[in-house]
Chain A
């Protein structure tokens, strides 16, 4: 509740010569010190009394684990591993449908051997996996940081972090590519966010 300004109370002024002495004024400063100042005593906050839904109190380990799982680092690591797996699968799959392996200029109709195909699949899988992992980790990390900074949870977080990630990726190929990457990735994240919410 709000504190209202209180001033020392003046007792009703007894006329001079009255038989009983005026009662001492209430010392509000002392009251205040006991209520909100240095001499207040600590209270045990009971959520049932405060109007909350009573639930069993969480143990310290549970709180620690929950705090770790909600942290930005954990989310980024999770996105990294997920991106790696997804990228690997995607790379292996696209290697199967888009082969340009074992091309021999002297014999263009030669079918590649199984060993060559497998090697190509492995290489492409690893390369796609690494890219996906980096992009996923960057996006998740920036989104978490932006959300922590703003203190709100809405669609703008994913757009901003999409722009940062796309810009960082495209920036290696020049400023214009960075701007295009920013816009493209931000639009992509906005679309995914719209679909998910």
Chain B
């Protein structure tokens, strides 16, 4: 996250030691987007792996009884 947002928001002009207003606004937005996408992806992947596990269980039960 640090690398991605740094690459996006902080251009390599090092005239001033402090973060300017535009840069700090950009970093705020970048971090918020990254965390939201991270959360959504996690939820989706959890859903997918739950489905997979159920499928597997059914297959195993089917193989066991067969």
Binding site for B on A (CB under 8 A): 3, 5-8, 10, 25, 27-29, 32-33, 35-37, 50-51, 70, 144, 147-148, 150-154, 157, 197
**CB contact under 8 A between A6 and B49, given known A37-B42, A197-B15:** yes
Can you spell out 19 A-B residue pairs with CB atoms less than 8 angstroms apart?
Answer: A6-B45, A6-B49, A7-B49, A25-B53, A29-B49, A29-B50, A32-B42, A32-B45, A35-B42, A36-B38, A36-B41, A50-B2, A70-B24, A148-B22, A151-B25, A152-B22, A152-B23, A153-B20, A153-B23
The residues of B that contact A50 with a CB separation of less than 8 Å are 2
A153 near B21 with CB under 8 A, answer yes
B53 near A8 with CB under 8 A, answer yes
A27 near B22 with CB under 8 A, answer no
Please report whether the interface of chain A is mostly helix, strand, loop or mixed according to DSSP. loop
The residues of A that contact B24 with a CB separation of less than 8 Å are 70
B49 near A32 with CB under 8 A, answer yes
Binding site for A on B (CB under 8 A): 2, 9, 11, 15, 20-26, 29, 38-39, 41-43, 45-46, 48-50, 52-53, 56
Q: Give B24 Cβ to nearest chain A Cβ, in Å.
A: 8
The residues of A that contact B49 with a CB separation of less than 8 Å are 6-8, 28-29, 32
